[in-house]
């Protein structure tokens, strides 16, 4: 599959002063044709330790500018608020293109930013098995405007106070950056929206997404206290990565990784054969031992759940590919009948 050629996108007149900070925006050079079949979902690999030797005497880059010890020809940032993730600003060589396309960070909220890297031949460089995406304030830039949370293959950029700063993105290995972008201008401002506010206490629909697919695949949905579909079988000593959409009775959708997070727990008295890792807009369910259990999905706010689904059955299998999801037909039935026979599933 041939990746479409990108064109340099200049910011509007109001962003000229901002984007000028971020590097070479007037370069008409375009990256070559590259593969469009990106794998954005490497969340299943949270362990970034490896034993490769790095004979570099000085890894202390301190946000001062471009560094490349990997051989990255193009470094593409991704806005993870979209599904599939939306390509925004990208580094070509040692300078930025489309710096004005980097979204404004909402004050008191965050942006979830991922990244993909390519070599000179346009082939994707698989980074996130052994590296971590990070960011920091550029040298000499305002330090109190944004803060960061790191989640393996993506970073949350939090808007702490209104204003302008510069940040660098890093491909992190152990205790140093093997790759670092040039500084990129980032603005924090109050978010303006006429969208009706989501009501967490009147959730009508929940959709569970299997993040192993791109775009993410809807595998189960909850409505009127019952489930349709099934959760993918969980491998032992591995995980499934699940996202979700929570929709209230007026059709408004919760923004996960902002005011809300996706979480999960075992149902009361359910077999304790899985563990959970929470990543804001998705959760990893990790198989500990073979069997079946029941899981409740939660819409988490601050230190509590504003909403919980009824439970859905999850299977842990040695070889999930051999698991027949037809075993879960009891989740895909007509609930006009008496529900008493299904209380254990909820």
pLDDT digits (tens, 9 = 90+) for 245-274: 999 999 999 988 778 999 999 999 999 999
Tokens read off for 222: 């909850």
Q: Are 234 and 287 in contact (CB under 8 A)?
A: yes
Percent of the chain whose predicted confidence (pLDDT) is above 70: 73
> What's the pLDDT at 5?
32
Q: How far, in whole angstroms, is CA 296 from its chain's centroid?
A: 21
Q: Are 137 and 143 in contact (CB under 8 A)?
A: yes
Examine domains 2-189 and 203-345 and report if their fold is the same: yes
> What's the pLDDT at 193?
58
Omega within 30 of 0 (cis) for the link into 84: yes
Q: pLDDT by residue (tens digit) across 126-154?
A: 999 899 999 999 999 999 999 999 999 99
pLDDT at 61 over 70: no
- Residue closest to 159 by CA, chosen among 101, 109, 112: 109
What is the per-residue burial (b if ≥16 Cβ within 10 Å, else e) of 306-328? bbbbbbbbbbbbeebeebebeeb
CATH architecture of the domain covering 203-345? Sandwich (2.60)
Using CA atoms, how far apart are residues 199 and 324, in angstroms rounded to an integer? 37
- Residue closest to 208 by CA, chosen among 285, 273, 271, 316: 285
Segments making up each domain of the chain, as ranges: 2-189, 203-345
Give the best-scoring range by mean pLDDT among 10-14, 237-241, 320-324.
Answer: 237-241
Task: Say whether pTM exceeds 0.85.
Answer: no
Omega within 30 of 0 (cis) for the link into 215: yes
Helix locations, 190-276, DSSP H = none
- Residue closest to 114 by CA, chosen among 25, 30, 211, 15: 211
Using CA atoms, how far apart are residues 159 and 248, in angstroms rounded to an integer? 26
Helix locations, 52-199, DSSP H = none
Q: pLDDT by residue (tens digit) across 183-200?
A: 999 999 987 655 578 899
pLDDT at 163 over 90: yes
2-189 maps to CATH 2.60.40.1080: yes
Q: pLDDT by residue (tens digit) across 91-117?
A: 998 899 998 889 999 999 999 999 999
> What's the pLDDT at 38?
40
Q: pLDDT by residue (tens digit) across 275-319?
A: 999 999 999 999 999 999 999 999 999 889 999 999 999 999 988
Helix locations, the chain, DSSP H = 16-19
Dihedral sign, CA of 109, 98, 184, 163? negative
Q: pLDDT by residue (tens digit) across 205-234?
A: 999 999 998 899 999 999 989 999 999 999
Range of weakest confidence among 34-43, 167-176, 246-255, 323-332: 34-43
Kind of pairing, strands 184-189 and 105-106? parallel
């Amino acid at each position: 599959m041939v990746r479409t050629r990108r064109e340099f996108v200049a910011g509007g007149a109001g962003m000229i002063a901002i984007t000028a900070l971020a590097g070479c925006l007037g370069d008409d050079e375009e990256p070559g044709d590259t593969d469009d079949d990106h794998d954005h979902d490497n969340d299943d690999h949270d362990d970034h330790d490896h034993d490769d030797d790095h004979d570099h005497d000085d890894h202390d880059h301190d946000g001062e500018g471009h560094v490349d010890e990997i051989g990255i020809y193009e470094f593409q940032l991704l806005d993870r608020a979209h599904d599939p993730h939306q390509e925004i600003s990208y580094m070509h060589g040692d300078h930025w293109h489309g710096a004005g396309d980097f979204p404004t960070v909402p004050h008191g909220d965050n942006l979830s930013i991922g990244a993909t890297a390519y070599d000179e031949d346009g082939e994707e460089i698989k980074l996130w098995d052994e590296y971590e995406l990070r960011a920091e304030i550029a040298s000499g830039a305002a330090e109190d405007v944004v803060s960061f949370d790191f989640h393996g293959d993506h970073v949350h950029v939090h808007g702490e106070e209104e204003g302008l700063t510069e940040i660098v993105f890093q491909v992190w290995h152990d205790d140093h950056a093997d790759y670092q972008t040039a500084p990129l201008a980032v603005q924090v401002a109050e978010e303006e929206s006429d969208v009706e506010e989501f009501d967490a206490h009147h959730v009508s629909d929940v959709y569970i997404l299997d993040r192993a697919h791109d775009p993410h695949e809807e595998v189960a949905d909850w409505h009127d206290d019952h489930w349709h579909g099934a959760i993918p079988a969980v491998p032992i000593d591995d995980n499934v990565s699940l996202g979700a959409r929570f929709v209230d009775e007026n059709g408004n959708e919760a923004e996960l990784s902002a005011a809300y997070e996706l979480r999960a727990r075992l149902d009361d008295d359910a077999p304790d054969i899985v563990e959970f890792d929470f990543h804001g807009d998705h959760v990893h369910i990790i198989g500990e031992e073979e069997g079946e259990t029941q899981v409740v999905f939660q819409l988490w706010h601050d230190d509590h759940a504003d909403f919980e689904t009824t439970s859905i059955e999850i299977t842990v299998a040695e070889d999930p590919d051999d698991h027949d999801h037809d075993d879960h037909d009891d989740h895909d039935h007509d609930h006009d009948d008496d529900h008493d026979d299904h209380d254990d599933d909820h």
